Structure 1
Amino acid sequence: MITPAFELSQNPDFLIITIKVPYARVSEFEVCFEGEDFKFYAKPYFLRLALPGRVVEDGREKASYDVDKGIFTVHLPKETTGEYFDGLGMLTALLAPKKSRSAKPLVEEMGARNEMEGEEEEFDWEIEQTPYDENNLCLSCSYGFGNLKSGVFRRLQDELGEVIDIKNPDLIPTTERREKRLAAEVVKFDPDHYLADLFEDEAVHHLLKYKPWWVATYAKKMASQGSSPLDDGGQNAVVSFAEDEKEQLRKFTNRTYLLDKRTCHQVYLSLVDILLAYCYEVYVTEGEKNAESPWNIRKLSATLCWLESFTSVLEVLVSFGRRVLCYPLYRHFSLVTKALNDTVMILQLGKTAILKCLLDIHKIFRENDPAYILNDLYITDYCIWIQKAKSKKLAALAERVQKAELTKAKLGFELDELEAAALLVQEEAKELKAAGADVSRQQLPPSKGEASDSEDSSSTSSYETGGSDSDEQESSAIEDGKINPLHSPLQEERTALLIDCNGLRRDTDTLALDVSNEKSKASLQSTSVPGKLIEELGKQMQTVIRLTEQPEASSPTASDSGSSVSQEMGTSTTSRTSPDHNGKDNP
């Protein structure tokens, strides 16, 4: 028989079951329901459901069939009008489990009932740890969902290294796995990679701006809180499943898991570990899965990569934080905190949102070889188990994760000290660079402004001496107070200014000189006094001498230096900044 596609919805009076049965004979169908049991048969389709609430046969029930669409719709009256049925979207959990002909499964069902009754007890997330016992070696080497599997990797030695990091997991107990994992993470941690992502974090900040689907869904839930139940998986649910997700849910086989209290705690904690890795993967790929997606999820989850079993929420967070800083492309602590906050958000949305994430992980692993092994070990069982999980436990888990404080110091890589040292080195590098820039500026020729001042002073001296070729003639002419006339009007104004400064009467209106800038005017005024002008020229001569004495292909002699000074003072200042044939400034 074929299990048809089906969906459930509700209103205050009816539970509505929609069944897709194309090519079925409408004349040959049968519907039976009583209490929480529902059966439908239309050759070749057969469907049996365990309803989340009780229905009654009171004459209000009705059924219809759409021939064009091949959809059969059944309205079942609720036993209690207005009652809300939870979990209508958990299609796998609605499928009635197969009954066994032996007596043993009956005992298992009783145990499962006891477990469900214990769900309402206060949930203690701190698991009591037991000492290592060599007699329990085989039991401690188990792995998978609820540690229910063992011996799997003995048959998969060739594919082992591509799926998990641990060698021979069937022979290594849980405590030894953790020691090996921590040692491997210490070896893998790269301080240079971490600091590079820390100080050059533009790409990380871009990734953090991405908004996954659960962000808007969470905001919608918070806005509509108290109005109506939202986590029913039905038509009114905030989180809904796509058609391929519904199809996958119908393919799963409904089963009951017998887990003791200790194992149940480990299952919840490993769920957090897997969701953390998934959130990181969604952010770094911005929701676009690629060939690296399976690697990201399994590598960052110690549950999947090292078959780890955790005992506390803090252990889960520390493990995830360490692995983010050791293995992926982006190793930034902000990604750790972002994944942590989003995992809390998903847990608070309820099991429908968690199941949607698990289905996405299942699809990623299903399409990758050999990551599909992880579906058999963990994800498939999680997809089935979460549909029967209690919302109160998930809310308590979300609260515990939210209150956990994860700091860089707890990761064990001395990140605070590493960052402090890096900042110190960075500051020292800036100081050295600044000091080097100051030294280079002192060794370079005068700046544009300084060159302008010296040009004006040099030009003034040259004009005053009538273009003489020696420094002695310049000095003697200034000492005698005799200024040779020039043909340029500008020079006449400058000469008049010098005469006036020596005590001659001038009209104050003639002080408005046609000078290009205030620096030139200040230079002229400062050099008008003969003593000061001589001192200024002396300084310029020393500057020119220092420049001409710089080492070149052929070093000039002392006499050559003197002639160079004389020649420099007698030429236009523009020649000092003209580039030579090598493209360099010729001093």
Structure 2
Amino acid sequence: NVHPNYKVSFESVVLYIPDLMILENNEWFNDKILSFIGEYLMIRIADRKVHVFLPPETEMIRHAKGEEEVEMYFGMLEVHLKPVVAFIVNNNEDVTRANGGSHWSLLVFDRKTDDFYHFDSANNYNHAAAEALMEKSRWLVGQEDGTRKLIAVKCLQQENGKDCGVYVANFLHALCEHQNVEDIGKMERIVLPRQAWRDLILSFGTFVFWITQDDTSLLIRIRAPHGNLAELDYDHGGFMFVFTCPPYFLRLQFKQMVEEYGSGNGKVEWKSEEGEFHIRIPKVHKNEQFTNLDMITELLNPTLEPHGRAMVEELEDVDSEDVDPEDVEEDPEGNEFLIDQEVPEPECPQTDDFLKNHGYGFGWTKIGVIERLRAEIGKIVDIQNPEDVEIEKRVEEMSKVDLEAFDEGRYLADTLEPEQDLLSIIASPFSLPLDLTDEDRVRLKDLRKTKIQKIWASDLEIATSLVDILYAYCYDQRVNQWETNCESGWTCSKLSPSLSYFVKFGSVKACLISSIRRSLTYPLYRNFSLSSQIINDVCHVIKSDRTALLHILCDIHRIFIESGEFRYILNDLFITDYIFWIQSVPEDVLKTILKEMETEGIQKEDVGWDLEILETEARIIAVALDSDDEPDH
């Protein structure tokens, strides 16, 4: 849904579709993308405490004839007053050639040490270019000792020929976050991969919309602050609504009918202060309640009604000249506009039987991903070789691993002598926000749906796995006072059996028992009462409505992108598909899951680790020790 003139802008930097395609196609970052990132980090992250010279400016300095020319162009910036000055360096020697050069690096001046530092992810490949830039910049940044040499700092090294821009962006992010040059050299991994930069940049080109209704009409609010009002156009009728105002485009498909635009009963207003269009559309049937108006993805990319027709039908040979245009039947529901846009699935040599028995991810429909990426992603999941472990054996294997990792001392400490903080966490009333946020709406609008060829799992089995994902999220929220933190990505992925071990449960009770076991084994607080309270939290979420589940899935999606450690891959495997699925799954499935959760009370003996015996023995030992300490009379 991108208009040909679509663009993304931040401050003085504007990216157009050719620039954005670099992000989509995992290509070498050009100067405009790094300019966008540099401007963003300087203003939003460093709050201008670090000055960042963008690639075009850096090239002007490096190829200037002398200090006078540099002063003429950049003296008014007064960077000699800044504690840290950064330069995005390219090795382009032809200033007349756009996007020239072959490598990016980062040059930093630190006023605290009066030194220039060079961070190069390709074994100091850009040393000559950085040195020349330093010589032209000494007076500009106000270096006191103009004879000091360039310091090449040992830093993270790229593993291919196109990621230098990603490394520079991460170096610059580390610098801007705390204004500490030493932080760059201490980096052990790339925190923000390509996907994170893509999502960040595209967020500046997105717009948000809301839909409310009364008995007679819908009100669609579209926040489009940079829209070209002269080119505003919109249409509605039947089940469809279409809005264009370059660079924005929006198409919605409702489940109930609205009046045609030509009826003249609609209305549009431009609210300049909010940067919003308010468009009112009359309903065909008054007093009819439109459903799923918060299911953003389903409105944008509706699931067509299933049918028994062959997907491809062989037609008799007919000369197109013999066909009368009036005889061509139009689709009364407007589905001719709903062309599927699919990302081709990579070739997979595995048979359906192998996938059915060894698959993982949403609906256990994926294979080969972990095996292919293991060297890069490390241990973001606990199951090491999922392609070698059959689905039906994973629960048993996970249970053995969890039992081996279970620390009786930690459990007893949190059970018999819980800290006041833990008791407060358990007693805390449910305070999790469950409404869709503006950030959720943007995320839902931008997510792209890929076709899953075949799903053997039932909706009930898929929903059961969702329970342990919700359990892990609710645990993280409760222990962190209903907020996320830097450990949220680890907690959500580690405590969920589905995300960490790719299991499939035969019942909701089995799912809850495994979730409790992991909550008693791995996180900071290991207390059965806390684990039981989390079950109540999950019930509360499912009871709320489908919108609450959608918000939580969007928040998990955000957490996995922002938490690093390549956890965004879990979005590709699970969360994105769950976001689409939850918007259209039958309500009876969720009711069945909730009923099982409410009727299957989990007791300590269900966990199977003799917890009550452990506690009793610990109490007996404690009493005996207390008796030994008593003075003899």
Question: TM (normalized to structure 2)?
Answer: 0.57
Counterpart for residue 205 of structure 1: 423
Q: What's 2:464 paired with?
A: 269
Matched, 1:301 2:496: yes
Deviation at 1:378, TM superposition (A): 0.8
Distance 2:628 2:388 in 1: 57
1:39-58 deviations in whole A, cap 9, x for unaligned?
Answer: 12233332211113211234
Distance across 1 between alignment mates of 2:253 and 2:451: 13
Deviation at 1:258, TM superposition (A): 7.2
Alignment of 1:122-521 (within 5 A): 136-202=353-419, 203-214=421-432, 239-254=434-449, 262-369=457-564, 370-434=566-630, 437-439=631-633
TM-score by length of 1: 0.61
- CA drift of 1:97 comes to 5.3
Alpha-carbon distance between aligned partners in 2 of 1:261 and 1:345, rounded to the nearest angstrom: 29
Q: Contact 2:361/2:574 (CA < 8 Å) preserved in 1?
A: yes
SS at match of 1:389: coil
Whether the 8 Å CA contact 1:95–1:254 is kept in 2: the answer is no
CA contact (8 A) 2:356 2:365 kept: no
1:41 to 232, 244, 265: 244
- Find the aligned partners of 1:105 and 1:295 in 2 and give their Cα distance: 45
**What pairs up with 1:104-123 in 2 under 5 angstroms?**
106=311
Asked if 2 retains the 8 angstrom alpha-carbon contact of 1:255 and 1:384, the reply is no
Q: Which amino acid aligns with 1:407?
A: Q
Farther-moved stretch of structure 1 (317-326 vs 87-96): 87-96
Question: Aligned letter for 1:137?
Answer: F
Amino acid aligned to 2:574: Y
**Alignment match of 1:95 (pick from 284, 300, 325):** 300
Alignment map for 1:574-585 (pairs within 5 Å): none
CA contact under 8 A between 1:24 and 1:44: conserved in structure 2? Answer: yes
Relative to total residues, which structure has the larger helix share, 1 or 2? 1
Deviation, structure 1 residue 296: 1.2
3-state SS in 1 of match to 2:627 = helix
Contact 2:474 2:534 in 1 (8 A): yes
Secondary structure of the 1:50 match is strand
Question: 1:62, CA displacement in angstroms?
Answer: 1.9
What CA deviation, in whole Å up to 9, does each residue of 1:299-358 have, x standing for no partner? 111100001111210110110111111111211001110100010000000111111111
Q: Summarize the Cα distance change of 1:4–1:291 in structure 2 as closer, same or farther, 3 Å threshold.
A: closer
Residues 4 and 47 in structure 1, CA contact (< 8 A), matched pair in contact too: no
Count of paired positions: 386
1:15 alignment counterpart: 218
* SS across alignment from 1:438: coil
1:380 CA displacement: 1.4
Q: 1:422-441 CA distances to partner (integer Å, 9 max, x unpaired)?
A: 2222222333333xx134xx
Gaps of 5+ in 1: 108-133, 218-238, 440-587
How far apart, CA to CA, are the structure 2 residues paired with 1:281 and 1:105? Answer: 47
Give unpaired runs (5+ residues) of structure 2: 7-205, 313-350
- Structure having the larger proportion of residues in strand: 2
Q: Deviations over 1:516-548 (max 9, x none)?
A: xxxxxxxxxxxxxxxxxxxxxxxxxxxxxxxxx
2:411/2:526 contact within 8 Å kept: yes
In structure 2, what is the equivalent of residue 61 of structure 1?
266
CA distance in 2, matches of 1:337, 1:176: 26
Equivalent in 259, 272, 280 of residue 75 of structure 1: 280
Q: State the Cα deviation string for residues 447-482 of structure 1 (Å, max 9, x = none).
A: xxxxxxxxxxxxxxxxxxxxxxxxxxxxxxxxxxxx
Letter in 2 for 1:399: K
How far has the Cα of 1:261 moved from its partner? 7.2
Is the CA contact (8 Å cut-off) linking 2:239 and 2:257 kept in structure 1? yes
Q: Which has the larger radius of gyration?
A: 1
| 1:96, distance to aligned residue in structure 2 (A) | 3.2
CA contact (8 A) 1:24 1:42 kept: yes
Structure 2: how far apart are the matches of 1:285 and 1:164? 23
Alpha-carbon spacing, 1:320–1:377, altered in 2? closer, same or farther (3 Å): same
| SS of equivalent residue, structure 2 residue 238 | strand
Shift in Å, 1:245: 1.9
Higher mean C-alpha deviation, range 50-59 or range 258-267: 258-267
Contact residue 142 and residue 148 of structure 1 kept, 8 A: yes
User: Contact 1:325 / 1:333 at 8 angstroms: preserved in 2?
Assistant: yes
